[in-house]
Amino acid sequence: MTLTTAQLSEKLGLSRATISRVLNGGQGVKPATISAVRQEMDRLGYVRPAVRPGRKPKDQRAGPSRHGAIALIVADTSIFFDDPGMANFVHSVQEACSKRGLHLLLERVSDNGPLPATLQRAKVDGALVMMFPGLTPEDDTIRRIAEQFPVVQVLAPGHPLTNVEHVTVNDVSIGTHAHLLFTADSCQSVVVINVWPSFKESLLIRSRACLDRSILAGRSVRVFVQDKNQTALWPAGTAPYQTFQQIIEVLRNLPKPVGVFLPIDARAKEFADALLAAGLGDPSQTRLVIAGVTPRLVDGIHPRPTLIDPNFEAVANSAIDRLLAVGGEATQRPQTVMVQPRVFPA
């Protein structure tokens, strides 16, 4: 449904000025009114035009940048220093912007309060938003950002907003690749090890894709997580661990060869070294597959494991292209694009 602000004003019983203020950040409007207006806009299917009325481009390809800059908006900048995947993604965004001659503005946005003044004043063609949607505060924040300029949501498995473009990694495909690799090597058992100390939905999706297919294939499976508070979120029988040695002892007694899947490359070399020290490093006994290609984490592992690249480079390029296209063509129906991973054999 395509609605004008005048039609919204009539349907909601509010002045055009109030509607306009809500669309532009809500300054001077009561929070209860802002919330009510946004809920009604969602119900009516209102999508704010990304450009002023007028002639539109003849095609839907990414058009030229008007301001020469885009924003990358996150909920927590600390993830860049901790999460290798997110750090790789940000690096890919920087490289993609450089190739296009775009400046990149990195901004942190909290769930409460107005958007930062720097963001409100920013002259950008749009924003890539990397938050954790699915909860009301985060969803409302993304909507507020989308009311100011075009938005493409990135890396939000399972929870993209239906009225916002979304580009992400195909996490199911990553887990499926691991399963197929284990099948090709006639693995009799499969072990999934989540070394990440907190919940990451993408890792659960990758792991379940591998585990479910392995179980259907009749293989013995084991799952280990570092955080004992996560066990309830994972399949029955998931065991918490404190040291890799605990996992090694289980591996010794499983039918060989054993397929071992790490859904993230953090601590990959440390685990591979533990396998070697225990005499389980030979590929005829243990087939190691790692989702991630961060050089400092996977270089120097011997024997060389199979690496599955989530392909953050393609995510960044696709997201930026779609962002520029959204800015030039407001009538497109928002879509979710899942980028396929790449496999680097051992």
Given 3.40.50.1820, 3.40.50.300, 3.10.150.10, 3.40.50.2300, which CATH number is that of 172-309?
3.40.50.2300
Residue 42 pLDDT > 80, yes or no?
A: no
* Digit-coded pLDDT (tens) for 1-17: 456 777 777 777 787 77
- Calculate mean pLDDT across residues 100-105: 94
Q: Which fold has domain 1-46?
A: 434 Repressor (Amino-terminal Domain) (1.10.260)
- Calculate mean pLDDT across residues 327-338: 70
Domain ranges of the chain: 1-46, 172-309
* Digit-coded pLDDT (tens) for 254-303: 999 999 999 999 999 999 999 999 999 999 999 999 999 999 999 999 99
pLDDT number for residue 147: 84
Confidence of residue 123 (pLDDT cuts 50, 70, 90): confident
118 or 248: which carries more pLDDT confidence?
Answer: 248
305 or 86: which carries more pLDDT confidence?
Answer: 305
**Single pTM value for the model:** 0.79
pLDDT number for residue 51: 39
Compute how many other C-beta atoms are within 10 angstroms of the C-beta atom of residue 272. 24
How many H helices and E strands in the chain? Answer: 13, 13
Residue 223 amino acid letter: V
